[in-house]
């Protein structure tokens, strides 16, 4: 070991000189680099920073803000970071290299010094700093203590550039306002993981969150509601509310601070002003912008798609142009997001002005009227030197000439737009919506719907294979969307966002050939310490067991699989026993079940439990895994289509997607058992979700057969229910009969029929949802 003292510079660099080896495996195992750089070459040895570290900055670039950022990161250490004076030797040098593409960087750590290279746009310098910081111990972020006296860094050469130029995350602060401090904290974390676009969803039916000086009622009225729904909109009857006032908006000074804070971290803030739908809050403030129709406009206190839309009148366009002028004056972003999604046309169809406008402009229908509306707004935005982004509904009726599309209803809209040579940001709900559950929805905190675990985020590839290479070039990036309907606090926002955002960061930055989920989990396991030091309330499902069960038709058995994302750990489990220790069964292969059971499981590392004990119940019986035919076909079967009624997993009341839905008065289900056998009981369950017009069956009849042709009635039962609960309820039903031999079982189900008075959609045919068919 040698020490180099740069005389009066007081820089100490200590290194170990050993044999050279190339590759990145050791570096990845030892350090948490997220997103993973695309080229890493390592040498044996280390460099140590301690005492004073001088940093030389290129004279041709103003990098003081970047220097101050780096200095701030090290403030909890005893290392003093100073700018080097001219002709001084430096521990860290920033060097302009205009052969590098935008946002690319080269980081070289040698035995003598550190060099970071970037082109003159300087973004690469910032990303090089982030990689350098990630090579440092996470304890540098620990604000509870000071005194790290030296930092050991590996000898390495890293050349890196992002896969996509647009690497985004969206904060929905309209549904539930989040304070400025939460936004700034999120910007800090985006910077750490090299995201560069913050999309702020600022207006919606539940709130207007940005000060517009010309229209003060937008925040005086539009940013306030007296209460907010509890739970999902269709779970309680009648809807429940928390009785808590909700208000909040960002002043223009707040916006300026957010923009500057983001800019200092090479992040562009993109504002979204929703139009022509999602406008209840603005119409509550200025109802003259609506089509009228005798409605009273209010800031909405529950979540749905509402008929309130802007009327395409001249006073509406004057208002929107005034609003957009103030927004454009505030935000330097090239893109202005104008929403364009989920715009019901009911008001336009009834509005005499709208119908006259359709005829005057030679439009075919209301879809083309929406396109006309978007075109007109785009012309104004273009006149200000900016371009618009809209959700993929802006394709309906024809895409505006310079518009970019955010494809959220799957990838189809993005594919269409790319083929039309429009820029696309891929953000399909199944892969990019972080308001979806990230752990078993049956036990997880309230979320929107769906299921998006960490590995599914990581596996996403935003470039559809059906596009040509040229068409793929119009896919400029992808974005994580954190919709805010059920996110009311900073802690819950962080729980829903992290660590999934780190997986998305690697999708956005790292070339697919360099990605590996197993390797990512090793790096992420180390990075949780960094998240903790940053004060991030990240989900710890990473350390839990995810329990899934499925019928194995090859082995003719029901099998339960246990999985954890946490690397180098072991899973222990117990059946029908909630106490799981290292003395329980060690999981090595799928668990076979031949009867109803609850599986409990936990992750252990070196004998210490890593997360909570998770559980999952399964319904395994003579019907499990059997095929069936429904008459009529279900109107929806979202999970395990084709065998959702016999997949061994019971539906539960808070997740309506788990159930198989019908909308006929009489439903017949013919089920074929695996072999002739005795039966004496049939059980199932129905769900009551009146706001979802889903009602339980009123009668169940069971038939059986040995040949599938001649059926014998075994039992019939009139079903009675207690509707005194005012929430979605799972009603189990069971019908017994004398033991008989059967190969085929037929269920005849009579629906509730017409929805009774006093309930949602009274007088209409109800839906029937059932799950699971169980035969004993």
Q: What is the pLDDT of residues 619-642, one digit of tens each?
A: 999 999 999 999 999 999 988 888
Residue ranges per domain, the chain?
A: 2-160, 166-336+384-533, 541-617, 628-775
- Which of 78-87, 204-213, 504-513, 673-682 has the weakest average pLDDT? 78-87
Please state, in angstroms and rounded to a whole number, the distance separating the CA atoms of residues 226 and 247: 8
User: How many helices (H) does the chain have, and how many strands (E)?
Assistant: 18, 37
Say what the pLDDT of residue 637 is.
92
Please state, in angstroms and rounded to a whole number, the distance separating the CA atoms of residues 289 and 323: 13
The 8-class DSSP code of residue 758 comes to: T
Beta bridge partners of 118: 96
3-state SS assignment for residue 739: strand
To the nearest whole percent, how much of the chain has pLDDT over 90? 87
Phi and psi at residue 640, to the nearest 5°: 55, 55
Please state, in angstroms and rounded to a whole number, the distance separating the CA atoms of residues 379 and 471: 25
The 8-class DSSP code of residue 411 comes to: S
CA dihedral sign of residues 176, 230, 204, 484: positive
Please state, in angstroms and rounded to a whole number, the distance separating the CA atoms of residues 328 and 337: 11
Four-point Cα dihedral 755, 758, 761, 766, nearest 10: -20
Q: For strands 546-552 and 557-563, give the pairing.
A: antiparallel
pLDDT single digits (tens) 562-602: 999 999 999 999 999 999 999 999 999 999 999 999 999 99
Q: What is the mean pLDDT of the chain?
A: 94
The CATH number given to 2-160 is: 3.30.379.10
Say what the pLDDT of residue 297 is.
95
Q: What residues have CB less than 8 Å from 571, skipping those under 6 apart? A: 545, 562, 564, 586, 587, 601, 602, 603, 604
**Residue 430 reports pLDDT greater than 80:** yes
Beta bridge partners of 604: 570, 609
- Which of 72-81, 168-177, 258-267, 269-278 has the weakest average pLDDT? 72-81
The highest-level CATH class for domain 541-617 is mainly beta
Provide, for the chain, the percentages of residues in helix, strand and coil under a 3-state DSSP scheme, each rounded to the nearest 5: 25, 30, 45
Please state, in angstroms and rounded to a whole number, the distance separating the CA atoms of residues 28 and 31: 5
Say what the pLDDT of residue 7 is.
31
Contact predicate 207/225, CB 8 Å: yes
Catalytic entry in 342, 368, 442, 727? 342
Q: Is 369 left (phi over 0), alpha (psi -120 to 50) or beta?
A: alpha
Q: What residues have CB less than 8 Å from 495, skipping those under 6 apart? A: 445, 537, 538, 539
Say what the pLDDT of residue 3 is.
33
Phi and psi at residue 691, to the nearest 5°: -70, -20
628-775 belongs to CATH 3.50.50.60? no
Looking at residues 77-95, what average pLDDT do you find?
A: 90
Say what the pLDDT of residue 461 is.
98
Would you tell me how many other CB atoms lie within 10 Å of the CB of residue 653? Answer: 19
**Residue 685 reports pLDDT greater than 80:** yes
Say what the pLDDT of residue 1 is.
33
Which spans in 80-172 are helix H? 123-134
Looking at residues 340-351, what average pLDDT do you find?
A: 95
**Residue 107 reports pLDDT greater than 60:** yes
Q: For strands 224-225 and 114-118, give the pairing.
A: unpaired
**Residue 5 reports pLDDT greater than 50:** no
**Token pair belonging to 550:** 């499925």
**Residue 98 reports pLDDT greater than 60:** yes
The radius of gyration computed from the CA coordinates of the chain, to the nearest angstrom, equals 30
Contact predicate 715/701, CB 8 Å: yes
The correct CATH number of 166-336+384-533 out of 3.40.630.30, 3.40.50.460, 3.20.20.80, 3.90.1300.10 is: 3.20.20.80
Give 524-558 as a DSSP string: HHHHHHHHHHTT-----GGGSPEEEEEEETTTTEE
Please state, in angstroms and rounded to a whole number, the distance separating the CA atoms of residues 610 and 602: 8
**Token pair belonging to 273:** 């002003």
Please state, in angstroms and rounded to a whole number, the distance separating the CA atoms of residues 671 and 660: 15
Looking at residues 407-432, what average pLDDT do you find?
A: 97
Closest CA to 614 of 542, 518, 700: 542
Say what the pLDDT of residue 20 is.
31
**Residue 486 reports pLDDT greater than 90:** yes
Start-to-end CA distance of the chain, whole Å, equals: 75
Q: Is 72 a catalytic residue?
A: no
Contact predicate 609/588, CB 8 Å: no
Contact predicate 663/634, CB 8 Å: no
Q: What residues have CB less than 8 Å from 262, skipping those under 6 apart? A: 187, 198, 268, 269
Looking at residues 211-216, what average pLDDT do you find?
A: 98
Looking at residues 6-32, what average pLDDT do you find?
A: 46
Looking at residues 442-471, what average pLDDT do you find?
A: 96
Q: What residues have CB less than 8 Å from 485, skipping those under 6 apart? A: 172, 175, 176, 303, 435, 448
- Assign 87 a pLDDT band (cuts: 50, 70, 90): confident
Contact predicate 330/259, CB 8 Å: yes
The structure tokens 């900073």 sit at 490
Closest CA to 408 of 442, 436, 382: 436
Beta bridge partners of 703: 713, 746
The structure tokens 């910007």 sit at 187
Query: Model's pTM, two decimal places?
Result: 0.94
Say what the pLDDT of residue 16 is.
30
- Assign 13 a pLDDT band (cuts: 50, 70, 90): very low
**Token pair belonging to 409:** 């209803």
């Amino acid at each position: 070991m040698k020490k180099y003292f740069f005389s009066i510079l007081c820089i100490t660099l200590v290194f170990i000189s050993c044999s050279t080896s190339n590759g990145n495996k050791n570096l990845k195992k030892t350090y948490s680099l997220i997103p993973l750089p695309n080229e890493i070459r390592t040498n044996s040895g280390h460099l140590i920073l301690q005492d004073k570290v001088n940093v030389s900055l290129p004279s041709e670039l103003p990098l003081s803000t970047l220097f101050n950022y780096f200095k701030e990161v090290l403030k909890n250490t005893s290392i003093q970071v100073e700018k080097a004076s001219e002709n001084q030797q430096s521990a860290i040098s920033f060097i302009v290299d205009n052969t590098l593409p935008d946002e690319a960087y080269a980081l070289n750590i040698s035995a003598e010094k550190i060099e970071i290279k970037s082109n003159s746009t300087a973004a690469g310098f910032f990303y090089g700093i982030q990689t350098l910081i990630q090579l440092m111990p996470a304890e540098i972020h620990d604000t509870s203590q000071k005194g790290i006296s030296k930092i050991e860094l590996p000898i390495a050469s890293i050349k890196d550039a992002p896969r996509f130029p647009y690497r985004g995350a969206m904060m929905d602060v309209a549904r539930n306002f989040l304070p400025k401090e939460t936004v700034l904290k999120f910007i800090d974390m985006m910077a750490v993981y090299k995201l560069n676009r913050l999309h702020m969803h600022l207006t919606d039916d539940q709130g207007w969150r940005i000060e517009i000086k010309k229209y003060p009622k937008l925040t005086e009225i539009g940013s306030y509601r007296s209460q907010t729904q509890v739970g999902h909109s269709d779970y309680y009857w009648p809807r429940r509310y928390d009785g808590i006032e909700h208000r909040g908006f960002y002043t223009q000074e707040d916006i300026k601070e957010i923009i500057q804070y983001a800019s200092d971290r090479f992040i562009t803030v993109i504002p979204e002003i929703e139009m022509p739908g999602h406008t209840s809050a603005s119409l509550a403030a200025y109802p003259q912008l609506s089509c009228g129709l005798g409605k009273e406009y209010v800031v909405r206190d529950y979540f749905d798609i509402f008929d309130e839309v802007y009327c395409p009148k001249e006073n509406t366009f004057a208002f929107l142009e005034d609003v957009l002028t103030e927004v454009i004056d505030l935000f330097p972003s090239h893109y202005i997001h104008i929403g364009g999604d989920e715009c019901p046309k009911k008001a336009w169809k009834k509005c005499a002005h709208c119908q006259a406008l359709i005829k005057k402009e030679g439009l075919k229908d209301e879809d083309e009227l929406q396109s006309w509306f978007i075109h007109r707004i785009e012309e104004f935005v273009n006149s200000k030197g900016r371009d618009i982004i809209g959700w993929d509904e802006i394709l309906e009726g024809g895409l505006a000439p310079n518009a970019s599309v955010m494809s959220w209803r799957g990838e189809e809209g993005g594919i269409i737009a790319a083929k039309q040579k429009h820029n696309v940001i891929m953000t399909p709900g199944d892969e990019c919506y972080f308001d979806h559950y990230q752990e078993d929805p049956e036990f997880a905190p309230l979320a929107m719907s769906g299921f998006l675990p960490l590995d599914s985020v990581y596996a996403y590839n935003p470039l559809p294979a059906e596009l040509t290479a040229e068409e793929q070039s119009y896919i400029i990036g992808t974005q994580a969307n954190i919709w805010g309907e059920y996110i009311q606090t900073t802690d819950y926002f962080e729980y829903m966002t992290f660590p999934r955002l780190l997986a998305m960061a690697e999708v956005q930055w790292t070339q697919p050939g360099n990605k590996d989920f197993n390797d990512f989990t090793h790096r992420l396991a180390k990075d949780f310490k960094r998240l903790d030091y940053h004060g991030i309330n990240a989900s710890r499902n990473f350390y839990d067991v995810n329990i899934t069960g499925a019928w194995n038709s090859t082995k003719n058995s029901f099998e339960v699989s246990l999985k954890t994302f946490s690397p180098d750990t072991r899973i222990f489990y117990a059946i029908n026993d909630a106490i799981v220790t290292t003395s329980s069964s060690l999981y090595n292969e799928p668990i076979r079940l031949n009867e109803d059971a609850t599986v409990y499981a936990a992750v252990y590392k070196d004998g210490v439990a890593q997360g909570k004990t998770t559980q999952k119940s399964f319904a395994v019986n003579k019907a499990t895994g059997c095929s069936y035919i429904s008459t009529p076909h279900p109107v929806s079967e979202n999970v395990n289509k084709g065998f959702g009624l016999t997949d061994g997993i019971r539906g539960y009341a808070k997740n309506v997607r788990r159930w198989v839905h019908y909308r006929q008065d009489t439903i017949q289900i013919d089920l074929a058992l695996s072999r002739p056998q005795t039966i004496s009981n049939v059980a199932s369950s129905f769900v009551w979700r009146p706001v979802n017009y889903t009602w339980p069956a009123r009668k169940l009849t069971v038939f059986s057969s040995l040949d599938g042709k001649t059926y014998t009635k075994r039992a019939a039962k009139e079903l009675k229910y207690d509707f005194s609960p005012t929430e979605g309820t799972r009603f189990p039903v069971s019908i017994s009969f004398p033991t008989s031999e059967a190969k085929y079982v037929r269920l005849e189900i009579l629906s509730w029929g017409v929805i009774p008075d006093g309930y949602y959609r009274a007088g209409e045919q109800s839906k029937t949802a059932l799950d699971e068919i169980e035969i004993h």
